[in-house]
Structure 1
Amino acid sequence: MGRYFFDLHEDDLTISDTVGEDLADRENAGHRASYILTQIAGDAPLTDGGKRLSATVRDEANRIVFTATLNIVGEWGELGTEPFG
């Protein structure tokens, strides 16, 4: 069991975690980071272009133990166009 901190990065914005979470190990911390990114992506506004979200996981000794990155690419289609296939 250890305490892990999740620093979140979206484009030029960084939010540093000062509270952290107690988790069994760094593998669980990596899964948690991936889950957090999918939750943020679900709330992100739809835009034409892209968005890059990342989470850096630190342990109690302030060492980076995991980094997850999620790239979202959005592109609006023309109304009335046929789908691929």
Structure 2
Amino acid sequence: MPGSRFYYEIRDGGILARDDEGQVFADGKAAREDAVMLLTEMARSLPGRGKDKNKITARVRDGAGKLIFTATLSLDVEWND
């Protein structure tokens, strides 16, 4: 059974990347799981950036453009002097 096409929008700091081709998933739950995995993979690069404030947001839209899911991952480092 074919699935539905879902589209990602990733904001990494001030950079916005939109997926215009989309990906096919069985349902919105599968698209959500993939987006969360993508965020966790992107999080691996955060420590090497040298910034104390980091935030990555993934938004998933369905084929009609309706926003179905948003997840935000943040890493805030505080120095204790």
TM-score, length-scaled by structure 2:
0.84
Runs of 4+ aligned residues of structure 1 deviating over 4 Å after TM superposition are 75-78
CA contact (8 A) 1:48 1:75 kept: no
Structure 2: any 5+ residue segments left out of the alignment? Answer: none
Kindly report the root-mean-square deviation, in angstroms, between the aligned alpha carbons of the 2 structures: 1.7
- 1:81 aligned partner: none
Structure 1: any 5+ residue segments left out of the alignment? Answer: 79-85
Matched-pair identity in %:
28
The alignment of Structure 1 onto Structure 2 pairs a total of residues equal to 78
- 2:53 aligned partner: 50
Corresponding letter in the other structure for 2:35: A
- 2:14 aligned partner: 12
- 1:30 aligned partner: 32
Corresponding letter in the other structure for 1:64: L
TM-score, length-scaled by structure 1:
0.80
CA contact (8 A) 1:8 1:53 kept: yes
